[in-house]
């Protein structure tokens, strides 16, 4: 008897699709499943191992289907994913592509007005308050060469793309007002661009203003590592006036000169992928997604997969709204046909069929359900990850209560950089509370946020949980340095903290046979869950700690009681309740993780 014929089967597949793949009927497949103890209907999804058993019964040898998607999920943290994928292309097939430029800078320094001047159209007038309300993409021609611009609402969006491995920009134009100089958001923008390892061209805007002070601006830029080329540095600083349309030609020249010094290439005939710039739902057209093609050529009818969204392209438009049939590298396009709205910064690819796209989406959703918490980068894990080759440096975002604390802390941390060991790299340092932007910068660089005498605001705390960013706060410099040093040497032990999940106030006591004394309570905040760990607080002091052994609402046993409701609570090993006691439930989590 000859060897069984090999057949590729996805990681998950419906019974119907498996039957087609094996050339069998759905009834046959269902019978084999039933004989092996699996009850499944025609539309049910089964995993590879189960499908392999069915294939074996029919005379096939199942092997896992290799999906290109696997390459996209891997990120070495040093090089953006799209660059890693292009690096795998045949060098002989690579050709020059238009540079992709994004504009960053402080609010009101003229980012949108500058882009308006560049593409000679009026955007600002149609935007609320003159602030960019969306992420768009446009192309301009200069001396016969094309430049693609990403118009972003700020560096938070830029880093959101980087955090997803996209980093669509090749060059950053940093807009600095000649009369205002380097402002807090300017510093953040510089930090984001440097962390992304993207070259910066400075557009010194509002040069026409009577209070413009170019020399002061250049001095401030130099203080932040951007030394103008006229001062023997390597940063081109171009004086412009977006309002007067002055210096725009010089700025375009600077962008092209910067691009010429770089290797900006792609393979128009290679694997198709790129970045989602924006996406929305239109009442009449359905999901509209703006994509930036970064390699290959996207064509009408292609099946696009971006995050958990997929679908066949039904219509494709260029940035002017004109219908097109294909788009090559560095081309922004708007497409119709996706099933749902992808996230800005998602990397898209094309699939051979809608079936393959659905299979990948199902797998992604299953993995997300199985692993709801993000893989957090913590100080405790640093040494282990370094040994495994995942990290070569510790990227930090430092926030302090006062400016005077920054220099001594940075100085102490720099003393930890020794030859052959993990390096400490400070991405950004500034006085002020830990913000959402700080978290996004750390997320995009696989870094950690360090606070000295400051705490994260509620928005930053939530963003840190969502993005898997570790925040550690200190009030003693030597303790901060000690923890970083221990982390670099793999000696830092995890710390734990108690996180409150609910509070209830004792209003009365009842004795019930078999249960003992029950505290009749009202939930003040959060929720109280049966089995939770609990502290009994009296006059603000902890007098007992154990767990909730019984939770009742009226006469019924319940699993949880939410804010504002009354309930009866029994605490294991404690019955000496008093009216006014606070029962606080909590979980124990690793500090900063």
Give the integer Cα–Cα distance in Å for 447 and 425. Answer: 9
Give the integer Cα–Cα distance in Å for 569 and 585. Answer: 11
Q: How many CB atoms lie within 10 A of CB 99?
A: 22
Phi, psi of 496 (to 5 degrees): -125, 150
Give the integer Cα–Cα distance in Å for 591 and 593. Answer: 6
Smallest CA-to-CA distance from 337 within 281, 300, 287, 297 is with 287
Q: How many residues does the chain have?
A: 593
CA 232, 236, 242, 245 torsion: positive or negative?
positive
Give the integer Cα–Cα distance in Å for 190 and 221. Answer: 9
Smallest CA-to-CA distance from 105 within 154, 178, 171 is with 154
Q: Which pLDDT tens digits describe the chain residue by residue (593 residues)? A: 456 688 888 766 888 888 888 888 888 888 888 887 777 777 777 777 778 888 888 888 887 665 444 444 444 444 556 666 777 777 888 889 999 988 887 767 777 788 878 876 433 334 333 333 344 778 888 888 889 888 654 545 555 555 554 456 888 899 898 888 888 778 877 877 777 778 899 999 999 888 889 999 999 999 888 998 888 888 899 999 988 888 898 999 999 999 988 888 888 988 898 888 888 888 888 889 889 999 999 999 999 998 889 999 999 998 888 899 999 999 999 999 998 888 877 889 999 888 888 888 888 777 666 554 445 666 666 656 665 555 677 888 899 988 878 888 888 888 888 755 678 888 888 888 898 888 888 887 778 899 998 888 888 888 888 777 888 888 888 888 888 887 777 655 555 667 888 999 999 998 887 788 999 999 999 899 988 999 999 988 889 999 999 999 888 889 899 999 999 999 998 999 999 999 999 887 765 44
Q: What is the pLDDT of residues 515-553, one digit of tens each?
A: 889 999 999 998 999 889 999 999 888 899 999 999 998
In order of their start, the domains of the chain are: 5-64 (1.10.10), 98-263 (3.40.50.300), 273-370 (2.40.30.10), 379-494 (3.40.50.10050), 498-590 (2.40.30.10)
Contacts of 388 (CB under 8 A, 6+ apart): none
Helix, strand or coil for residue 225? coil
Helix, strand or coil for residue 428? strand
How buried is 280 (Cβ within 10 angstroms: 0-12 exposed, 13-18 middle, 19+ buried)? exposed
Residue 302 is inside which H or E element, if any?
none
Q: Where are any strands of DSSP class E within 441-540? A: 448-452, 471-474, 496-512, 516-529, 533-538
pLDDT averaged over the chain? 80
């Amino acid at each position: 008897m000859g060897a069984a014929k090999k057949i590729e089967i996805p990681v998950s597949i419906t019974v119907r699709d498996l039957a087609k793949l094996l050339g069998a009927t759905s009834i046959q497949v269902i019978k084999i499943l039933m004989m092996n103890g699996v009850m499944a209907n025609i539309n049910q999804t089964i995993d590879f191992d189960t499908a392999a058993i069915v294939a074996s019964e029919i005379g096939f040898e199942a092997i896992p289907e290799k999906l290109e998607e696997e390459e996209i999920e891997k990120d070495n943290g040093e090089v953006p994913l799209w660059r890693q994928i292009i690096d795998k292309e045949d060098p002989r097939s690579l050709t020059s592509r238009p540079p992709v430029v994004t504009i960053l800078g402080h609010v009101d320094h003229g980012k949108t007005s500058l882009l308006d001047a560049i593409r000679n159209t009026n955007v600002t007038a149609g935007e609320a308050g003159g602030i960019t309300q969306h992420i768009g993409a446009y192309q301009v021609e200069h001396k016969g060469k094309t430049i693609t611009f990403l118009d972003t609402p700020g560096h938070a969006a830029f880093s959101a793309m980087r955090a997803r491995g996209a980093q669509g920009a090749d060059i950053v134009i940093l807009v600095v007002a000649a009369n205002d100089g380097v402002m807090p958001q300017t510093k953040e923008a510089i930090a984001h661009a440097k962390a992304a390892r993207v070259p910066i061209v400075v557009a010194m805007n509002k040069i026409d203003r009577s209070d413009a002070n170019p020399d002061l601006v250049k001095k401030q830029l130099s203080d932040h590592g951007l030394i103008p080329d006229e001062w023997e540095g390597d940063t081109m600083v171009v004086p412009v006036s977006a309002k007067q349309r002055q210096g725009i030609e010089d700025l375009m020249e600077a962008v092209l000169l910067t691009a010429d010094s770089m290797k900006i290439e792609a393979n128009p005939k290679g694997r198709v992928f790129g970045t989602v710039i924006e996406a929305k739902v239109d009442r009449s057209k359905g999901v509209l997604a703006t994509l930036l093609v970064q390699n290959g050529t996207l064509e009408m009818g292609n099946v696009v997969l971006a995050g958990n969204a997929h679908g066949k392209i039904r219509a494709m438009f260029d940035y002017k709204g004109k219908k097109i049939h294909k788009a090559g590298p560095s081309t922004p396009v708007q497409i119709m046909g996706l099933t749902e709205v992808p996230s800005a910064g998602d990397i898209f690819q094309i699939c051979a069929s809608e079936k393959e796209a659905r299979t990948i989406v199902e797998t992604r959703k299953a993995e997300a359900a199985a692993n709801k918490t993000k893989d957090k980068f913590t100080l405790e894990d640093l040494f282990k990850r370094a040994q495994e080759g995942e990290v070569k440096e510790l990227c930090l975002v430092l926030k302090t209560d006062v400016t005077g604390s920054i220099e001594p802390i940075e100085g102490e941390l720099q003393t930890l950089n020794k030859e052959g060991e993990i390096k400490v790299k400070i991405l950004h340092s500034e006085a002020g509370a830990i913000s959402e932007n700080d978290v996004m910068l750390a997320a995009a660089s696989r870094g950690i946020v360090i606070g000295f005498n400051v705490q994260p605001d509620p928005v930053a705390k939530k963003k840190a949980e969502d993005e898997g960013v570790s925040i550690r706060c200190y009030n003693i410099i030597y303790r901060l340095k000690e923890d970083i040093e221990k982390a670099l040497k793999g000696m830092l032990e995890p710390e734990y903290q108690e996180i409150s999940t609910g509070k209830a106030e004792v209003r009365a006591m009842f004795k019930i046979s078999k249960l003992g004394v029950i505290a009749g309570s009202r939930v003040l905040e959060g929720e109280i869950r049966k089995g939770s760990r609990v502290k009994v607080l009296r006059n603000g002091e902890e007098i007992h700690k154990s767990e909730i052994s019984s939770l009742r609402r009226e006469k019924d046993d319940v699993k949880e009681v939410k804010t504002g409701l009354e309930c009866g609570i029994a605490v294991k090993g404690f019955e000496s309740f008093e009216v006014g006691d606070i029962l606080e439930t909590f979980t124990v989590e690793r500090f900063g993780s």
